[in-house]
Chain A
Amino acid sequence: MILKKTFLYLVLLAIVAVMLLPFYWMLVLSTQTTTVIFQYPPPFWFGDNLVANFMQVLQSVNFLQAFSNTLIVSVVYTVLVLLFCSMGGYAFAMYTFPGRETLFTILLVTLMIPWTVGIVPWFFMMSKFGWINNFLALIVPGAANAFGIFWMRQYCKQNIPSSLIDAAKIDGLNEWLIFFRIVSPLLASGFAALGIMMIVGSWNDFIQPMLILRDNSLHTLPLMLKYMQGDARRGTDVGALMLASTMAVLPLLIAFLSASNYFMSGLTAGAVKE
Chain B
Amino acid sequence: MSRVKTLGFWSTFYRHRVAYAYIAPFYILFAVFGLFPIVAGLAISFFRWDGVDPMRFIGLQNYFRLLTDGLFWKSLGNTALIGLISHVFILGGGLVLAYVLNSKLVKFQNGFKTVYFLPMVTSAVASAIVFKALFGINNGLINFVIKSMGFEGVDWWGGNGDFVKVAVIAMFSWQWIGWNMVIYLAGMQAISHDIYEAAEIDGANHTQVFFRITVPLLKPIILFTVIQSTIGTLGLFTEPYVLTGGNNLLGGTDNQAMTVMMYLLNKAPYGNNLYGFASAVAYVVCAIIIVVSLVNMKLFDRDETASTAARRKK
Contacts and interface: CB of A to CB of B under 8 A. Distances in A.
A232 to B, nearest CB: 8
A46 B112 CA distance: 26
Interface string B29-60: 11011101111110010000001000000000
A120 B126 contact: no
Nearest to A83: B25
Contacts of A15: 97, 116
A121 B38 CA distance: 8
Interface string A210-251: 110000000001100110011000000010011001101100
Contacts of B157: none
Q: A19, A101, A104, A116 — which one has the most chain B CB atoms within 10 A of its CB?
A: A116
A51 interface: no
- Interface of chain B, main secondary structure: helix
Q: A23, A145, A268 — which one has the most chain B CB atoms within 10 A of its CB?
A: A268
A23 to B, nearest CB: 7
Contacts, number: 284
Contact size range, B: 35 or more
Contact of B129 (A106, A245, A260): A245
Given A16-B115, A23-B118, A272-B183, A207 B238 contact: yes
Contacts of B193: none
Interface string B4-26: 10000000100010111011011
B37 A122 contact: yes
Contact of A87 (B25, B134, B270, B314): B25
Interface in A76-90: 84-85, 87-88, 90
Contacts of B141: 21, 25, 42
B250 interface: no
Contact of B37 (A5, A104, A125): A125
Given A19-B116, A122-B37, A26 B130 contact: yes
Contact of B16 (A20, A29, A97, A222): A97
8 contacts: A16-B115, A41-B139, A116-B261, A116-B286, A119-B278, A143-B29, A149-B23, A210-B270
Given A118-B39, A119-B264, A204-B124, 12 more contacts: A85-B26, A112-B293, A116-B264, A145-B26, A149-B23, A203-B123, A206-B237, A207-B261, A211-B265, A230-B246, A238-B133, A260-B113
Ranked 10 nearest A-B pairs via Cβ: A118-B37, A91-B22, A141-B33, A144-B25, A97-B16, A121-B40, A245-B126, A121-B37, A271-B186, A95-B19
